[in-house]
Structure 1
């Protein structure tokens, strides 16, 4: 299965992106935008989108939070779903996209 790399042209360079850089900022973030489901607290992405165009999860935060749950006001924050540093865009701020590269991962066989 090939991997695709895309370039997105940003139309609003001032779009506010929340930077989550540690376990503490993850817990604070989930506590500010709580959505409680089955005893776990998740981010309420609809409410987050009212304040931010996207959320950036750094590698440091991913390593610090993977597999852990953190106490927040309404219970325990679920571990984040990121496996690699990236931005989750919540509002479209792009004029278009362009395919940059198609990579075929090596299959050891």
Structure 2
């Protein structure tokens, strides 16, 4: 998926009806006015269901869309082994925008931590 397609892909955007029986992890980069919310839960087979809500930079929106799409139906172990830096090349993320990856990575780590508790 290219950056433009990812930017407009709303398949996994968080809807109010999606947020039952799960948790929401929020991350904010206040200096740039960007924020990210990830909703995650495990289904009865221990596979992930992840949705997102994001505001700010188009690069953050695109990379979040791509990564969240790839996170569907993964085990906790598969989520932990994800190398988020590989996605930067997918959308040609400029080096000056690497903080977007850190914001998303922190949110994902928070989700994984909560999923492991359940």
TM-score calculated relative to the size of structure 1 = 0.27
Please identify which structure carries the higher helix content.
2
Compare CA radii of gyration and give the structure with the larger one.
Answer: 1
More strand per residue: 1
**TM superposition score normalised by structure 2:** 0.26
Q: Which has the higher contact order (CA 8 A, sep 6+)?
A: 1
